[in-house]
Amino acid sequence: MSTCCGPTRCTCRLKAGPGVTVDGNGSASLPYVVSAGAAEPTAVRAADTATIDTEITGTGTTADPYVVSSAVILDPAPPGGGDQLIQSGPDGLSLECADVRTCFTGGDGIAYDEATGQISAQLSDGAGNAVSFGTDGGLFVPPAAPPEVGCGLQGDGTAATPLAAFPIAGEQPWADDWDCDPVANSTLKCDPSSGALWTPPEHASAAVTIQQSHPMGTPTVAVTTGFVTVDSSAFAEGSYTANSLSACRGISFDTAFEGHVQVSWPANAQFELGYAIQINGGALAVRVLYGVYANGPARHERHSFGVSQAAVLPPHTGYVVRVYPAVRVIAGSVTFQQWITDTNLIAVTR
């Protein structure tokens, strides 16, 4: 100190820190006096918050120091109305995963397992669902397979070649052939119950010619009261069996009978020849086809004549027409050598 603090000036300096005072200038007559002053007493105050309850114990001395402790405040009735799940234990606050799992539920498209806490996508088990889990665990929809093209269609369903009807003769506007309303006159329709396209049943027709020689022998018929059939077993028949040509459409049925008769009669005989027509087993109605009404010589002749019957039949309807050789003898007698009938049948769907 003598060297530093003697007559020669030195760089020794003292500075008081907190709680310390320095007096003097370091000279022999006024040396430094360093002393520690009494510090201000330490003030400690406990302050609570909404989540912390704070407590201070002790007096702040070495023997009884201050002890500051805090307890967490847990709301017993959360404002949302749920249960308080946070627990306070000897090792601190805790919240178990199992306690939280019951708070979650799975919505649409989500599967949730409360036991494990696993959340996953829920796949619908509805028929035709193509969504599945891919190899990477993500949702996967396989690319759609090209549609199978059935009869009457063309194209593969792509934008380049979309599915379309397959008209064998190609496309053609309705107006190229018809000048009527297509909505009112086209026969192509769609069945709403099946989605199938349909057109009316096809038309059909049939025709046949039958020749019959009636096995009457050579009967002689004397004067009659009105017309009589020559032989009830001698008849020509034209019939249509229901649904034999079409089970859907009505039928236009035409029957034509052409008779060839060979008869002889004595002098002064008078008579009429005809067909007795019967429809569907009903009463006989005679149509006169040839007659001799004046006295004359004995004769032996062949004559031809015809009669026809037509009808329009609704679906599922049959029809039977029979013709019997008939005669009305006014005077004398008539002998039949032969009676032949050619029967022409024509059936056409409507």
The number of residues making up the chain comes to: 350
Which top CATH class is 205-349? mainly beta
Looking at per-residue pLDDT, the higher value among 130 and 293 belongs to: 293
29 pLDDT above the threshold of 90: no
Averaged pLDDT for residues 134-143: 84
Per-residue pLDDT averaged across 6-27, rounded?
67
For 237-262, what is the mean pLDDT? 95
- Cα separation of 183 and 179, whole Å? 12
Q: What is the pLDDT of residue 115?
A: 76
pLDDT at 198 over 80: yes
Which sign does the torsion angle of CA 171, 177, 180, 186 carry?
negative
Cβ contacts of 57-63, under 8 Å, gap ≥ 24: none
Hey, what are 29's tokens?
């007559």
How many Cβ atoms are within 10 Å of 174's Cβ, its own excluded? 13
Two tokens at 176?
């190229």
Backbone angles phi, psi at 162, to 5 degrees: -65, 160
Please tell me the predicted confidence (pLDDT) of residue 282: 96
Q: Is the pLDDT of residue 70 over 90?
A: no
- For 41, the 3-state DSSP assignment is coil
Give the torsion through C-alpha atoms of 100, 106, 107, 111, to 10 deg: 150
pLDDT tens for each residue of 280-333: 999 999 999 999 999 999 999 999 999 999 999 999 999 999 999 999 999 999
CB-CB contact of 274 with 289 (8 Å): yes
**Mean pLDDT along residues 133-137:** 83
Does the pLDDT value for residue 191 go beyond 90? yes
The answer to pTM > 0.75 is no
Over residues 343-350, mean pLDDT: 96
Task: Determine the 3-state secondary structure of 5 from DSSP.
Answer: helix
Least confident of 18-22, 84-88, 263-267: 18-22
Q: Residue 1's pLDDT is what?
A: 47
